[in-house]
Amino acid sequence: MSSEAVIVDVVRTPVGRGKPGGMLSGVHPVDLLAGVLTAIVDRNDLDPGTVDDVIGGCVSQIGEQSYNITRNAVLAAGFPEHVPGTTIDRQCGSSQQAATFAAQAILAGQADIVIACGVESMSRVPLGSSAAGADPYGSRLKARYPDGLVGQGVSAELIAAKWGFSRDDLDAFAARSHELAATARESGAFATEVVPVAGVDRLVDETVRPGTSAESLAGLNPAFRTDALAERFPELDWRITPGNSSPLTDGASAALIMSADAAEKLGLTPRARFRAFSVVGSDPLYMLTGVIPATAKVLERAGLTHDDIDAYEVNEAFASVPLAWLAETGAEPGKLNPRGGAIALGHALGSSGTRLLTTLVNHLEATGGRYGLQTMCEGGGMANAYVVERV
């Protein structure tokens, strides 16, 4: 068994608005993912034939993202045909789970080099399209939850109400995300992680809005209220808007993960190592609160406390999620999403996990931090987490 699973490199595309006309909307998702696979082996002068597996995350596996998009991207990237690829769906945490599976395969001694990656083209394969108009639940799940489950936006509303976050709280957090991301972008902090996309002449994240303020967000209407939902949840005053939610996004990202021995043999310098992993289920009605127990579990497994962590990446699916996480964990707010989060940098579903890892590793290097903790809330009531250590 390998003693360590190390991160040699992490890359991502710039993020585009996940709507027709977004800057990446003209790129087929297979080509989008193939681009980061090519970039990560080229940047490290790695023979792609030495890669044992490519594990990719993608949520809407239908249409252009069907038929095992990761394997298709491996072939499109020009990797030798003997290099396999598989696509997994743990909802928003899909590519974070891909990184976990990659590291676990290496720690188990079953692989030496694995690329974890993810992609989502929400402009070309719309959110929810994978259900294809069919019932994804069945009678037994409906019997367990007779009142019915709800969409993530309503879950975010329930969280805001339970933890008592005002509309001002949510909008202020959203403005913070844009401010931090704009500052990071202007300083060149993203320059080493963003790779070009063929046929696209921009390298700037399209979803970041400099100058966003809580005041400018205050005029937006609630995004998820309906009369039927208002009748079911009379306690809600409907505070979740497009401004304090993550936008629909296109993007791809990848992480090159190896055993420490393989990196040494290849003359590659590890940038970080994995210290611990966790995955949990949570209440599927509130859906997005699993980040709280996932954090506690991964810290216990790593033998660390919040005092040891230098930076956190908690996915900003909605502002109420990281705010609830802060309230329950007592973590230092200044360590949370220090380069902005998904409200500004987008949430390209299947790509988000390795996108967050890319940003986290680069931030630890830039600041001299040692430990980073990343956690993602997920559809259906789940969350995963890991702790990485800069080396």
Number of Cβ within 10 Å of residue 138's Cβ equals 8
Instruction: Report CA-CA distances (Å) from 312 to 191, 220, 357, 363.
Output: 20, 29, 10, 10
Q: Which of 92, 117, 178, 363 is catalytic?
A: 92
DSSP 129: G
Q: Give dist(CA 13, CA 198) in Å, integer.
A: 10
Nearest CA to 12 out of 186, 197, 185 is that of: 197
Biggest CA–CA distance in the chain, Å, is 63
Q: Decide if 377 is catalytic.
A: yes
Q: Are strands 249-259 and 16-17 parallel, antiparallel or unpaired?
A: antiparallel
What is the SS3 assignment for 346? coil
Tokens of 106: 């290496």
Cα Rg, the chain, nearest whole Å: 20
Q: Which of 117, 178, 363, 377 is catalytic?
A: 377
Q: Decide if 92 is catalytic.
A: yes
What is the SS3 assignment for 170? helix
Q: Give dist(CA 372, CA 306) in Å, integer.
A: 10
Tokens of 9: 């490199």
Tokens of 247: 């936008």
Q: What residue type is assigned to position 73 of the chain?
A: A
Q: Decide if 82 is catalytic.
A: no
DSSP 245: B
Number of helices (H), then strands (E), in the chain: 13, 10
Q: Which of 58, 117, 178, 347 is catalytic?
A: 347
Q: At what angle do helices 352-367 and 94-107 cross, to 10 degrees?
A: 70
Q: Give dist(CA 350, CA 254) in Å, integer.
A: 11
- Active-site residues: which are they? 92, 347, 377
